[in-house]
Amino acid sequence: MLLNLLLLFALFIPQKPTIYSFRVESIDGGVIDFSQYKGKKILIVNTASKCGYTPQYEGLEKLYRQHKDKLVIIGFPSNDFLWQEPGSNDDIRQFCSSKYDVTFPMAAKIHVKGFYKAPIYQWLTHKEQNGVENSSVSWNFNKYLINEQGEYVRHFSSDVKPDDPELIRAILN
């Protein structure tokens, strides 16, 4: 009887929301299932090919290669800021591969703001969903860090480069 009461009580204890329930289309038409990254940190970045921050692809790829045993980076192309990602998924994949040798996972092109904001970005930007903070995607190359348990850690703005000491510390801690 006591065990049943404890189990029932446990159902009403709020659980920290995690990213592991998300599955998104990958840029090549497959599926990115976030549950496959349990035990790794995840850095989610909204990307664009024709932006002043586009050279960050190089630093993101270097970061990914240096720490891929404990970190996965997932790029989310978006055309939400001054049409700086106008191409198709094939165009984006080709650009990332040929120009920056990107090997980290890339999602299919999505919206990261506005009425059509993708569910994963709703989770990333709303405290009532991620349990930590509200944020807004102010431009391309915003970065969202998720810990090894799939919990939201924090948001980094576009001007925080992939080799920024604060970002590196957050990833390595």
Active site residue 96: no
Which helix (H) or strand (E) element contains residue 128? helix 127-130
Task: State both tokens at 82.
Answer: 């001054």
Catalytic residue, chosen from 20, 24, 26, 51, is 51
Q: Are 18 and 149 in contact (CB under 8 A)?
A: yes
Q: Are 95 and 49 in contact (CB under 8 A)?
A: yes
Query: Known catalytic residues?
Result: 51
